[in-house]
């Protein structure tokens, strides 16, 4: 019997799918301005809300699955999609586009610069972590990511300090997450990247299980460890870079969602990957709805909402798990 075929797996995935559908409907029919259902279908508001719901769904799934991959790859429960310098690299690229006024060239300049910055930082981390023999030790990879993140982060702060007040607001808003994306072509590209990454992770979920055991046990069980590491490193980095390019930096999703799902259904990646994708998508869609409505007509940056919603809930789960260990 497949892992998804047992009762617990079916209940978990069914519940998460229902939560995702409910969150999407709530997101489409709610907003800073009240629009009746009849008027919604015949106005441009529906297209805007549908696009925003779509990018939230895709970004939530991509960041969550990336978090699952990095936690398995690095065997570190605190690993998340931005731990290897993607955030600083993407932020630097986006800040350059805003501060230098490159956005006047076209709407694709900002996401393009952010993606190039993210990929550049990832390539730098990979070059620093790779040994002469071609191996990529997890500890070295993590340390390289921390160093690159720190250096690029400081360069980013220096660049921000030189920006005018108007441009500073644009940089700050992007760094806190921005789902006001109305380009359907960009949404399609990001969706393809994330869908491919999630599909690869589902198909090779057994390899993620082996990587989580450690390099030597995984090799003894027949896994080409270095090949698997490189593959998952590329997959997770591309998903993270694509989502960051489309909607800025949204924290906590790639950290709290995999942990929460793991506590609920266990560590088996054959269930964990799909469940995390569904949970991350539902969580970010719901968080975006809160960001748009709780202080209407003003909007709260989505990164603030994910931190305020996810942080306390995650601490509650950890405390509950700790209490169960004590008993």
Cα 277 from Cα 60, distance rounded (Å): 7
Q: Mean pLDDT across the stretch 21-33?
A: 85
Cα 309 from Cα 286, distance rounded (Å): 10
| pLDDT tens sequence across 230-262 | 999 999 999 999 998 888 889 889 988 998 898
72 or 318, higher pLDDT: 72
| pLDDT tens sequence across 175-225 | 888 887 667 888 999 999 999 999 999 999 999 999 988 888 999 989 999
- Residue ranges covered by each domain of the chain: 3-326
| pLDDT tens sequence across 278-291 | 999 999 999 999 98
When pLDDT is cut at 50, 70 and 90, the band that residue 100 belongs to is confident
Q: Are 229 and 70 contacting, i.e. CB atoms less than 8 angstroms apart?
A: no
| pLDDT value, residue 1 | 43
- Supply 214's token pair: 């450690």
Q: Are 67 and 276 contacting, i.e. CB atoms less than 8 angstroms apart?
A: yes
Nearest one of 178, 198, 284 to 238, comparing CA atoms: 198
Helix (H) or strand (E) holding 51: helix 44-74
pLDDT at 53 over 50: yes
The whole-model pTM stands at 0.89
CB proximity list for 259: less than 8 A, separation 6 or greater: 77, 314, 317
CA 297 to chain centre: 27
CATH code for the structural domain at 3-326: 1.10.3470.10
């Amino acid at each position: 019997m497949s892992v998804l075929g047992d009762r617990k797996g079916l209940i978990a995935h069914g519940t998460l799918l229902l939560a995702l559908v409910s969150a999407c409907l709530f997101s489409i029919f709610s907003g800073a301005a009240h629009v009746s259902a009849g008027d919604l279908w015949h106005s441009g508001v529906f297209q805007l809300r549908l696009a925003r719901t779509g990018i939230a769904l895709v970004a939530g799934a991509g960041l969550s699955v990336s978090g699952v991959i990095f936690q398995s790859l690095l065997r570190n429960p605190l690993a998340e999609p931005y731990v290897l310098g993607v955030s600083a690299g993407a932020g630097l690229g986006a800040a350059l586009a805003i501060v230098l006024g490159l956005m006047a060239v076209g709407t694709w300049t900002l996401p393009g610069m952010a993606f190039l910055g993210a990929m550049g930082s990832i390539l730098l981390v990979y070059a620093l972590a790779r040994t002469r023999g071609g191996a990529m030790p997890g500890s070295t990879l993590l340390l390289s990511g921390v160093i690159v993140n720190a250096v690029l982060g400081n360069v980013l702060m220096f660049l921000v300090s030189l920006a005018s007040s108007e441009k500073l607001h644009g940089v700050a808003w992007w760094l806190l997450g921005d789902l006001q994306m109305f380009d359907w072509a960009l949404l399609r590209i990001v969706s393809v990247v994330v869908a491919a990454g999630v599909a690869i992770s589902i198909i090779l979920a057994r390899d993620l299980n082996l990587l989580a055991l450690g390099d030597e046990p995984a090799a003894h069980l027949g896994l080409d460890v270095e090949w698997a590491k490189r593959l998952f490193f590329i997959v997770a980095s591309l998903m993270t870079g694509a989502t960051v390019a489309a909607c800025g930096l949204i924290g906590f999703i790639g950290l709290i969602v995999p942990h929460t799902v793991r506590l609920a259904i266990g560590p088996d990646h054959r269930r964990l990957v799909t469940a995390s994708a569904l949970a991350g998508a539902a969580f970010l869609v719901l968080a975006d709805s809160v960001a748009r409505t709780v202080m209407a007509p003003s909007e709260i940056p989505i990164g603030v909402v994910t931190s305020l919603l996810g942080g306390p809930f995650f601490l509650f789960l950890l405390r509950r798990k700790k209490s169960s260990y004590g008993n």
